[in-house]
Amino acid sequence: MKKNNEIEMSFLAQPTDVNYFGSVHGGNVMKWIDEAAYALAVQHTHKYCVTKYVDGIEFINPISIGDLVHLHARVLQKGTTSIRMHVTVCSENLVSNRRLENCACDIVFVAVDKQGNKQKIQD
Ligand SMILES: CC(C)(COP(=O)(O)OP(=O)(O)OC[C@H]1O[C@@H](n2cnc3c(N)ncnc32)[C@H](O)[C@@H]1OP(=O)(O)O)[C@@H](O)C(=O)NCCC(=O)NCCS
């Protein structure tokens, strides 16, 4: 079966993603990171996976509404039941082409069965 080691997602930052200061809410960025890592973890292991651990997240630059947001996730390491990935978030102003690094972190998912018990990741 296909085993991708990386995944990319791109979409426009929506007016509904805004925080009280007019840029994208940090909680939305964390949700996108979780979604990108989930997609890669499941695509890579072909098993359901849940978030186990997120390493320190730093918000480097704000994302503006209307920016094209790019998430990139790649596999760093596979354990017996876990998969560690690195996720980066960049935003692109479509008028000026200016691209900013917004956020990066490592994130660990664990493969689980239908009862939510961890299960081995097979090669
Ligand atoms: C995922 C879950 C089934 C794992 O069960 P567990 O008994 O706690 O698992 P373990 O402590 O044995 O760890 C499982 C794997 O995660 C890794 N892991 C655990 N804690 C970790 C941490 N803080 N950092 C990095 N990896 C970690 C372990 O090294 C192990 O990896 P390996 O099997 O590849 O060697 C359980 O913790 C759970 O259900 N958590 C809630 C998940 C959830 O709801 N997530 C959604 C967000 S709230």
Which percentage of the chain shows pLDDT scores above 90? 90
| Among protein residues, the one whose CA lies closest to atom 2 of ligand 1 | 118
Q: Do the beta carbons of residue 57 and residue 105 sit within 8 Å?
A: yes
CB 87 within 8 A of CB 80: no
pLDDT score recorded for residue 20: 86
Q: Answer yes or no: is the C-beta of 15 below 6 A from any ligand 1 atom.
A: no
Is any ligand 1 atom within 6 A of the Cβ of residue 118? yes
**CATH class of the domain comprising 6-111:** alpha beta
Residue-wise pLDDT for 51-107, tens only, equals 999 998 999 999 999 999 999 999 999 999 999 999 999 999 999 999 999 999 999
pTM: 0.96
Helix (H), strand (E) at residue 110: strand 99-111
Q: Is there an atom of ligand 1 within 6 Å of 108 CB?
A: yes
The residues, any chain, with a CB within 8 Å of residue 20's CB and separated by 6 or more, are none
pLDDT of 2 strictly over 90: no
- Ranges of each domain in the chain: 6-111
